[in-house]
Structure 1
Amino acid sequence: MLLGVVRFTPAVELVMALVLIVRLRVAYHSDWGAAVYSGVFHAISAFNNAGFGLLPDSAVQWAEDPWMSVPLMLSVMIGGLGFPVWWELLRHWRRPYARWTVHATITIWGSVVLWVAGTVLFAAFEWDNKSTLGPMGTGGKILAATFQSVVARTAGFNSVDIGALRRESLLLLDGLMFIGGGSAGTAGGVKVATFAIPGFVIWAELRGEPTVRVLNRRLSPANMRQALTVALLATGMVVAATGALMVLTPFRLDVVLFEVISAFATVGMSTGITCGHPRCGAGHPRRHDVPRPHRADHAGRRPGAAQPTSTLRGPGGEGPRWLGTTSPSSGWAGSARPSPCARSRRGDACSASTPTRPW
């Protein structure tokens, strides 16, 4: 199996990189060196569900470009399903009448349900939001909603401004990030099978069945104990970290919970509040904060909360630009470069001295 992984991984990354390279060269007029570097980097980052990007706005400028978004989504899906599932699919392709294992069945169908449900709900919540999907066409909205649903488990790219999402959308992404991808894959989270097993246990208990059966197969007590242990430990860690940050920071519950789950599941998405978090969970100067001008929910602060003195300000004293936008030809939009807090991808543990690089 190890040799198969070594062969499978570079093959997928190479195919996706070639598509990205050609698109960057043809549509975005990048020189060959930059196109090759960016294409290979993003293909590897997507397959490994890393979420690192070379642009300050992650994948926002590709939100309506299927030739960029679809390869990234496919890479995330392939890596996130898990290598055992792909070996199962290969075995089934060679022997069409062979039955799928319980693990493969739960992972595949669970992932499909999460992808579809996430897309539908995200589109419904953000369809008319002028700061996210609102300005896009119908096709762009569907593509961006699908992209965000897929990468939330747990790639960390973003094609919309995470800081501008509505609260119901943040809650949806919380669930997708917490569940994550398949076991023995490149995704994080508690894993699809681990999330599904407690559901089968609850269903069997409601029906009064003495044993838990999945697809006409009896689920062993060891598997149930392991799944319940992982799920409860994960929930406890998230609750504890969220409670600690609620005490130490002035931010609202919805954005704090989002940041905690994103970190726990190794997603890397951020609403843009990370620069205001206390270092090592202590020493937050909330009693000596300077009042901050109101910004519509982007800061995610509780009503009446003040702004930390470490938050970056623009040349004119205005608040930070939460998500700068760029184009292949124009570079940075506006007169000032966006704050490091603007980045909603990985690497968001920034400080006032961290530079932002316009790749």
Structure 2
Amino acid sequence: MRRIRSTLLMASQHLSSAVQWSTAQKAVQRLVPPLSFDSRKGQNGRIGVLGGSYEYTGAPYYAAQSALQAGADLAYVFCADGAAPAIKSYSPELIVLPCYKTANMHDQQATSMAMQEVRPWLARLDCCVIGPGLGRDEGVLKGVADIMNAAEVRSTSTIVDADGLFLVAQNPELVEGRTDCVLTPNRRELERLAARLNVAAEAADVAAQVARKLGNVVVVAKGQRDVITDGTDVLVCDEPGAPKRCGGLGDVLCGALAPLAAQAARADQSDAAFVGRRPLLWACYGACVASRRAAAAAFARKRRAMTAPDALAEIGGACESVAPTTVVEPPS
């Protein structure tokens, strides 16, 4: 783990020049659609979160609610039936759909088959976040693997985090070659991916090598500095965050990223604002800055008592500071 920390810092020092904030902000701003009084529900993003188990109900809530705070119109949570009541109670704004029965989890095949009921819903989404609170039940992971292989998901922007990354470490082909896919590993998760792909942990560009081995997926290696790479380009986010590293902050990051990732999939890569880099890299950069600013604001208020809900409460304002909303006024 210490080796991963040092390699990420080396990557930030040797593989990336400093990004001018004016350049970054122009690029991120291109990914935030203006609001209009003619807007229809769903135009600003339909986000799905596939995760949530009997033990873990907070993670999918943080991701889905963060997506709404970052500007998405609708957020769905696909979870175990044992998690649904708790997640529903957290927020009436979330559309919570239990997709398999906790009682059947001893039957891997039944669980896997039940999860296929999610597929018609996923076809409606602009971005799908896979992994928060998912758990590691073998039947659930098999069902998720089948879903990730489905055309409905493979044509949708996807963010993989937490136990979704555990699944990818077992089956890298699930994301190979998916240029609209983002992996968001912490140090331990990056170490697991590197080992599976035969990438040396001491390599200065470990995150970039992992991205290349997976066919240029985007990797957001979270740490003291966030290293964002598709194996070719590298961006480093060193925005100050918070010294309190409470659980749930990674879920807030994934949620804030989802609306930007959805817009990145539609963006014109030749746009001069992107200065030759993929729009999805800038989406990740913007989300990293916003989540760090939210954590910093939460820590300023709560100090040692800071928890993930405090950061969640700040994510809307942080996103606005990164990319201010443009409003198209109605005709007079």
In the superposition, the TM-score normalised over structure 2's length comes to 0.30
Relative to its length, the structure with more helix (as a share) is 1
Relative to its length, the structure with more strand (as a share) is 2
In the superposition, the TM-score normalised over structure 1's length comes to 0.28
